[in-house]
Structure 1
Amino acid sequence: MASKRSKKNSGSALEKLKSNGPKNHISKHSRRPDTETERSVLGKRKERSDEDSQASKPNPLIPTSSDCSLTDVVAMDCEMVGVSSQGNKSALGRVTLVNKWGNVIYDEFVRPVEYVVDFRTEISGIRPSDLRKAKNFTVVQKKVAELIKGRILVGHALRNDLKALLLSHPKKDIRDTSEYAPFLQEGRRRSLKNLASQFLTVDIQNGEHCPIEDAPGCNAALSEKQKTMGKEHRGFH
């Protein structure tokens, strides 16, 4: 079970997603002068219809089911803190796993083995208070290993996350959105922020990163792209 602090973060993040979800907008042309022609009125009605259609589109980062069980596909995102004398060495500070519906199944802050020099709060969102009651690295590592075993693992730059966890995962069961060929741009990897903007039309990672947004973001972007290609997660190589 996630810690109370992690559960609080999970809940507040989901509430933020819901509150920041698409809202209906009132066009500045809602009231038209009586002198407008029928043609211009029809044009404005069509414009409002397009806007309303876009505004009513559901937020793909909000869970699509209340099912919080462990599924055959899980998405993972980790946030790092800086250790070593210069703080330029990355160590695991938080790990989040969500199921295929986007519901959090594991979310824990992690106490690194080495002394933390830089919390990298502006990106990681991790603060000193978050790690005071964090779980030991070995405890989290063991739990994550249990949760991902035998399952499809989705994420962005998973190599870095698995390295921080000192874990490995079968290549055939990895779905890394940073290496997925249809997501590459002229052979170059793209950021998760860029992928979310293009394929999900959502804006993420503005300032502090939130793994409760990033993990389902990977899953949703991959699912959205594969819908158009007629493929499932297991068809990804």
Structure 2
Amino acid sequence: MDSSSDAHGRHRCAACFRQFNKMEHLVEHMRAARHSGHEPRCDICRKHCRSFEALRDHLGVGGSTLPKAASCADAFAARGCAICLRVLAGAGAASLGAHRAACRLSRTPPPRALQQHHRTQPQGGALALGCKMVGAGSDGSLDVCARVCVIDEQENVLFEAFVRPLLPVTHYRYETTGIRPEHLRDGASVTVKSAQRRVEELLLDGEQPWRARTSRGRARLLVGHGLDHDLHALHMDYPAYLKRDTATYPPLMKTSKLSNSLRFLTLNYLGYEIQTGHQHPFEDCVAAMRLYRRMRGQQHHPRADAHAPAPAADDQQPFPSWRQRELERMTPEDLLRLSTPDYHCWCLDA
């Protein structure tokens, strides 16, 4: 009997290990779940998880251990890294300590004189955008952009400025932003239009806006956290296929499909704290870019599966209903190789 079926003839998913009485139910599960080799996976039992938060729960990171994963949690506690969630098999205490130290990054304070760090030529194919908002409206609850920062992949500042909002500011939120009225006066700040134009110049890199929406060309990837909110504050639009948002990237989201805060992601997946005291958009840009680079640098197994069958012609429907009988004759492992994720994995940008 196949290793993926138990003694009662039940069929087990090769990714999440759920069991089904009928093969057609397993096929329907794979059609809905869209499991793939791009999902976070336990290095011990090889179980796939929909997000890193689900994998953390599976490995007992943070103290909560699932009953069925007690052995994985014990092995992870002895040989695992709580930042990258990898388990180093056969590693000694010295090598494990060195790995954990390398994974835990240090906080980078904003440069004291940002103008001295500006560069005209970005390094790398992605830029990170960060904005800080102040309050407008009668109760100060309307977010308007008052500070913007753009960095490249090497964390060089390409553009940083205070921005004069179009609406009167009723709440400067000084406790978190550190912004005062004198920062937004003429001569100390730029207009929203000027900031928008400069950010667009950096992102498009000489490409025509219409071409960036149809073909990438020279246009750069845009990294950030809550990008739609920041772009709306700058009265900008950017193609969705060029955006890399750490707030909506499925592996970095909660198991409930809600977004994690940038502060939570930085603490758990980079190892240091941000947004303490007065917050600078440079710090948010660096955190988002580091998260993106860490996700992009993951080595996923589809690259090494030379023996895997070719994917379906229609990637949006890897398990079409007209192939139902053929799919039911496949093994769970073949179904998993055939499946494609329902999101763009950032490892494909490398």
Taking structure 2 as the reference length, what is the TM-score of the superposition?
Answer: 0.49
What residue is the counterpart of 1:189 in the other structure?
259
Correspondence 1:222 to 2:292: yes
The CA distance in 2 between the partners of 1:141 and 1:234, in whole Å, is: 29
Change (3 A) 1:62 1:123: closer
Change (3 A) 1:56 1:183: closer
Change (3 A) 1:73 1:86: same
Change (3 A) 1:141 1:103: same
Change (3 A) 1:153 1:56: closer
Change (3 A) 1:139 1:52: closer
What residue is the counterpart of 1:155 in the other structure?
224
Counterpart residue type for residue 163 of structure 1:
H
Change (3 A) 1:67 1:120: closer
The CA distance in 2 between the partners of 1:74 and 1:154, in whole Å, is: 6
Which of 156, 166, 180 in structure 2 is aligned with 1:127?
180
What residue is the counterpart of 1:177 in the other structure?
246
Which of 113, 122, 136 in structure 2 is aligned with 1:70?
122
Deviations 1:90-120 (A, max 9, x none): 1110110000111110001001111111111
Alignment of 1:18-33 (within 5 A): none
Deviations 1:36-57 (A, max 9, x none): xxxxxxxxxx69x949973996
Counterpart residue type for residue 117 of structure 1:
T
Deviations 1:57-105 (A, max 9, x none): 6537489xx9942242100000011112221111110110000111110
Q: Name the stretch that deviates more: 224-233 or 138-147.
A: 224-233
Identity of paired residues, percent? Answer: 30
The CA distance in 1 between the partners of 2:241 and 2:105, in whole Å, is: 32
Correspondence 1:235 to 2:348: yes
Q: Which structure is higher in strand share? A: 1
Q: For the Cα contact (< 8 Å) 2:252–2:260, is it kept in 1?
A: yes
* Structure 2 unaligned spans of 5+: 1-92, 111-116, 205-218, 304-344
Change (3 A) 1:223 1:129: same
Which of 268, 273, 276 in structure 2 is aligned with 1:206?
276
Counterpart residue type for residue 170 of structure 2:
V
Q: Name the stretch that deviates more: 94-103 or 125-134.
A: 125-134
Deviations 1:187-227 (A, max 9, x none): 22100011101111011011322211110110101211332
The CA distance in 1 between the partners of 2:280 and 2:173, in whole Å, is: 13
SS at match of 2:128: strand
The CA distance in 2 between the partners of 1:92 and 1:154, in whole Å, is: 18
Change (3 A) 1:221 1:193: same
The CA distance in 2 between the partners of 1:58 and 1:166, in whole Å, is: 34
Taking structure 1 as the reference length, what is the TM-score of the superposition?
Answer: 0.70
Counterpart residue type for residue 225 of structure 2:
H
What residue is the counterpart of 1:3 in the other structure?
none
Correspondence 1:143 to 2:168: no
Q: Name the stretch that deviates more: 93-102 or 120-129.
A: 120-129
Correspondence 1:111 to 2:164: yes
Query: Whose Rg is larger?
Result: 2
Q: Which structure is higher in helix share? A: 1
SS at match of 1:190: coil
Length, aligned pairs only = 188
Q: Name the stretch that deviates more: 147-156 or 121-130.
A: 121-130
The CA distance in 1 between the partners of 2:101 and 2:348, in whole Å, is: 30
Which of 137, 160, 165 in structure 1 is aligned with 2:234?
165
